[in-house]
Amino acid sequence: MAAPRGFAPASIENTMNHVPHILVVDDDSDIRQMLADYLQRNGLRVSQADGGRAMRALMDTHAVDLVVLDVMMPGEDGLSLCRNLRAGKHRAVPVVLLTARDDETDRIIGLEMGADDYVTKPFSSRELLARINAVIRRTQMLPPNLQVSEAGRQLAFGEWRLDTTARHLLDAQDTAYPLSGAEFRLLRAFLDHANRVLSRDQLLSLTQGRDAELFDRSIDLLVSRVRQRLGDDAREPTYIKTVRSEGYVFSVPVQLLGPEE
C-alpha cells in the first residue's frame, strides 16, 4: 500500500533493542532531509512529514517516540499542531519545537501548548540530538524508589490516583483525565518527593532537563496547569503549596498501590 502523501516512513529496524522512532515535521524538505540523515547516522529511526495532515496520518499507523515540530509552517503552524496533539490520542508523545524566535513570550507559549523542549534556530544538529536524547531519557526514566515493575500501579493522594502506566489521573469515580508529558513529569516529581520543598531549579531539572538558560516562569506556568488539573485553588491550594522564596511543596500523603488494589 502506498504511503500517505507528504511523509516517508522509516524502515523497520531488525534489532531486539528498541530504537527510538523520531518524526520530523517541517515544510522545508531540505531541512527535513538534513535532520533525518543526521539523526539516522546517530542510531535513531526517522520518519518525515511536511505538515499536520501527513503527521496525523503517520502517527495513526506508526508508533512514534518523539516529534520534532517546526513552529513556522504555513497553514497549521507548529504551536497549533502541538496543542492539538496534547488534546488527542497521541497526547503522551513528547514534542521538541524548532523555532526561529528567541523570545521568552514565544517560549512560554510553546510550553503552555505542551511542548517538552525547544531549540531556537539557527541550531546545530548536535544540539538537537542532545535535546532529543534528554527528552527520551526523561520520558522513559523511573525514579529509584519505584523501579520495580510498574504495570498497573497507581499513586494515590487525596481524591486522586495517578496511573503511572497510562499516565493519566483518575478521580474517585475512575474517570480518567489525560496529562501531557510535561504535566505527568511534574506531578510525578511532586509525588516522588512529597512533603519536601522543591526549588524551581530542582523542578526544572526533574521535568525539563534544560541548561541554565531556562526561566523560572516556565515552571510556574506548569505548576498552574497541574493545579488546574487537580482542581486546586491557587490562592489556598490543597495539594501544591507555594513556599515563598524557596519553591513548591506537595503537602498531601502519597500511597503506592499495586495492580490489585
Calculate mean pLDDT across residues 225-239.
91
pLDDT confidence of 153, banded at 50, 70, 90?
confident
The Cα 4–Cα 24 span in angstroms is 15
Give the angle 63-68-109 at the CA atoms, nearest 5°.
120
pLDDT at 109 over 70: yes
Distance between CA atoms of residues 112 and 214, nearest Å: 14
Residue spans in the chain of domains classed CATH 3.40.50.2300: 7-140
Tens digit of each residue's pLDDT (9 = 90 or more) over 121-131:
778 888 899 98
Taking the C-alpha atoms of residue 27 and residue 5, their distance in angstroms, rounded to an integer, is 13
Cell numbers given for 98: 524548532
Please name every residue paired with 170 in a beta bridge, in sequence order, or none if there are none. Answer: 161, 176
- CA 120, distance to chain mean position in Å, is 18
The C-alpha cell at 217 is: 516562569
Strands of the 197-198 sheet, one edge to the other? 197-198, 247-250, 240-243
Residues facing residue 23 across a β-bridge = 47, 67
Query: Residue 81 in contact with residue 69, Cβ under 8 Å?
Result: yes
Grid coordinates belonging to 246: 524557596
pLDDT-based confidence at residue 150 (cuts at 50, 70, 90): very low
pLDDT band at 17 (very low <50, low <70, confident <90, very high): low
Give the distance from CA 219 to its chain's centroid: 14
What Cα–Cα distance (Å) separates residue 208 from each residue in 114, 131, 153, 203?
12, 10, 24, 8
- CATH 1.10.10.10 applies to domain 147-257: yes
pLDDT band at 221 (very low <50, low <70, confident <90, very high): confident
Q: Are 68 and 96 in contact (CB under 8 A)?
A: yes
The whole-number average pLDDT for the span 203-231 is 74
Examine the pLDDT at 142 and tell me if it is beyond 50.
Answer: no
Amino acid identity at 73: M
pLDDT of residue 104: 65
- The predicted model scores a pTM of 0.61
pLDDT value for 88: 80
The class of domain 7-140 in CATH terms is alpha beta
